[in-house]
Amino acid sequence: MSRGAARVLWAPALAGLSLILATVGHAPWAEAYPQWQFSSQTSRCSQCHYSPAGGGIVTGYARDAVGEELSTFEGDGAFLHGALDLPTGLALQFDGRFAGLWHDNGATTGPERAFFPMQADLSGRMALGEAFSITATVGYRGQARSIDQTLGPGAPAPAAASRFISREHYVMWRPESQGPYLRVGRFFAPFGLRLAEHTFYVRRDLGFNLLEETYNLSTGWVKTDWELHVTAFGPDFLRDEGPREAGLAALYERRFLDVSTLGTQVRLAISGERQRLVTGLLGKYYLELARLLFQTELNLLHTRYTEADTWDQGFVGYLGLVYFPVRGVWLTPFVERAQTALRDGDSATNAAGLQINWFPYPHLELVLQARAQRPAGDHGLSADTVVGFLHYTL
């Protein structure tokens, strides 16, 4: 990154930090983070994941919790079901997903049905001394639709190589489980609710769609009742895939009263064709008596289109209500909205759906999601989708 670019990034960095610091108040000490880990009294994503902001390879603590407390039926959550003890400092994990899809977008060809391998990833983490570690994930990503249609002479050939990828690879300095950290490499910058499904608008429309992990220099501070993450990011320069954007993302979350979190975030992404500033709020509230978790993320987008010399204000939001009826089961009705331009009310798409997650046994997850998407306008286009997948973790 050039010195000029670095200077440019200081300004939004300071603006973002100002916004974040403005929301930091004095709150009581909090214990639990209201996600499904609530039942095990975890308060931070990094208790169950080696990543300071969650996601990716899980810790031994998480494997024990899944085996003994979180799955419907108990079992051994350890690597390879406990058949092999890994050397101290080494963690391995395999994630495989196989999906079935029914999708009706009103096309004259009728509803689409597909069965496909969704994911086959092998992840590893090696501790390098007390404070440093190296993490990498390599694997295969399947897709529902064929890319093998080709055009006439001169057309670029579809590249099946895009399915083989290392989504994450980074080096991290983190001397303690709580406190400061520094990470360099490829991963998603900590931002938003960090939902697992890339199809949610708060992921796909904000730069966190499938295989859009950026190269980052990320730092932050994680404590029991709050966490701050600041990330300078750049495009995938190795594969030249995804948005060619560089910029800065910051996320601050504070946990209150053992049952809720409130966060604020800002992301500035700049490319040669577009500059986009995202400011957002996210929140979670767990109502223990009813076993309900309310979670939401609301973002305002301000986008300037350089070559067209115009701008848009847009919106991307998500609201979900997670119900935990029995151990290992979540039911989540949700609504979403994405609007390209607030000045044009017909540029929005709304969605609503229901997602069921079942963790019957350690290493196994079954997911079923039904979703209806309704783009604005009277053109009659829509998309109704039912997708189910089996997720197996070793």
Q: Which of residues 339-378 bind another protein (CB under 8 A)?
A: 340-349, 373, 375-378
State how far the Cα of 180 lies from the Cα of 152, in Å rounded to an integer. 54
State how far the Cα of 230 lies from the Cα of 335, in Å rounded to an integer. 28
Contact between residue 287 and residue 59 where contact means Cβ atoms under 8 Å apart: no
Which of the stretches 67-75, 149-157, 253-261, 362-370 binds another protein when contact is defined by CB under 8 A? Answer: 149-157
Q: Does 155 bind another protein (CB under 8 A)?
A: yes
Which of the stretches 60-68, 81-89, 319-327, 337-345 binds another protein when contact is defined by CB under 8 A? Answer: 337-345
Q: Where are the beta strands (DSSP E) in 129-163?
A: 132-141
Q: What is the DSSP letter of 211?
A: T
Considering only residues 143, 177, 178, 219, which one is a binding residue for another protein as defined by CB under 8 A?
A: 143
Q: Least distance from C-beta 200 to another protein, angstroms?
A: 12
Q: Does 145 bind another protein (CB under 8 A)?
A: yes
Number of alpha carbons in the 13 Å side-chain half-sphere of residue 222: 22
Which of the stretches 41-49, 250-258, 309-317, 362-370 binds another protein when contact is defined by CB under 8 A? Answer: 309-317
Q: What is the DSSP letter of 242?
A: S
Cβ proximity to another protein: between 12 and 96 the closer is 12
State how far the Cα of 48 lies from the Cα of 264, in Å rounded to an integer. 23
3-state SS assignment for residue 29: coil
Considering only residues 223, 304, 327, 337, which one is a binding residue for another protein as defined by CB under 8 A?
A: 304
Which of the stretches 124-132, 287-295, 362-370, 382-390 binds another protein when contact is defined by CB under 8 A? Answer: 382-390
Cβ proximity to another protein: between 40 and 350 the closer is 350
Cβ proximity to another protein: between 88 and 109 the closer is 109
Q: Does 308 bind another protein (CB under 8 A)?
A: yes
Q: Which of residues 49-78 bind another protein (CB under 8 A)?
A: none
Q: Which of residues 8-37 bind another protein (CB under 8 A)?
A: 8-9, 11-12
Q: Does 110 bind another protein (CB under 8 A)?
A: no
Number of alpha carbons in the 13 Å side-chain half-sphere of residue 335: 4
Cβ proximity to another protein: between 58 and 278 the closer is 278
Q: How is residue 365 written in tokens?
A: 């997850």
CB contact set of 89 (below 8 Å; sequence gap of 6+):
126, 127
Q: How is residue 189 written in tokens?
A: 């910058």
State how far the Cα of 68 lies from the Cα of 40, in Å rounded to an integer. 10
Q: Least distance from C-beta 186 to another protein, angstroms?
A: 14
Q: Does 117 bind another protein (CB under 8 A)?
A: no
Contact between residue 280 and residue 264 where contact means Cβ atoms under 8 Å apart: yes
The residues with which 46 forms a beta bridge, in sequence order, are: none
CB contact set of 201 (below 8 Å; sequence gap of 6+):
316, 317, 318, 336, 337, 338, 349, 351
3-state SS assignment for residue 12: helix
Question: CA nearest 30: which of 288, 285, 283, 256?
Answer: 256
Considering only residues 95, 121, 212, 365, which one is a binding residue for another protein as defined by CB under 8 A?
A: 212
Q: Does 166 bind another protein (CB under 8 A)?
A: no
Q: Does 169 bind another protein (CB under 8 A)?
A: no
Which of the stretches 72-80, 188-196, 203-211, 324-332 binds another protein when contact is defined by CB under 8 A? Answer: 203-211
Cβ proximity to another protein: between 383 and 390 the closer is 383
Considering only residues 306, 323, 333, 392, which one is a binding residue for another protein as defined by CB under 8 A?
A: 306
Q: What is the dihedral of CA 245, 189, 374, 35, to 10 degrees?
A: 180
Cβ proximity to another protein: between 246 and 364 the closer is 246
Q: Which of residues 241-270 bind another protein (CB under 8 A)?
A: 241-244, 246-247, 268, 270
Chain-centre distance for alpha carbon 257: 25
Q: Least distance from C-beta 327 to another protein, angstroms?
A: 33
Q: Does 109 bind another protein (CB under 8 A)?
A: yes
Cβ proximity to another protein: between 99 and 348 the closer is 348
Q: Does 176 bind another protein (CB under 8 A)?
A: no
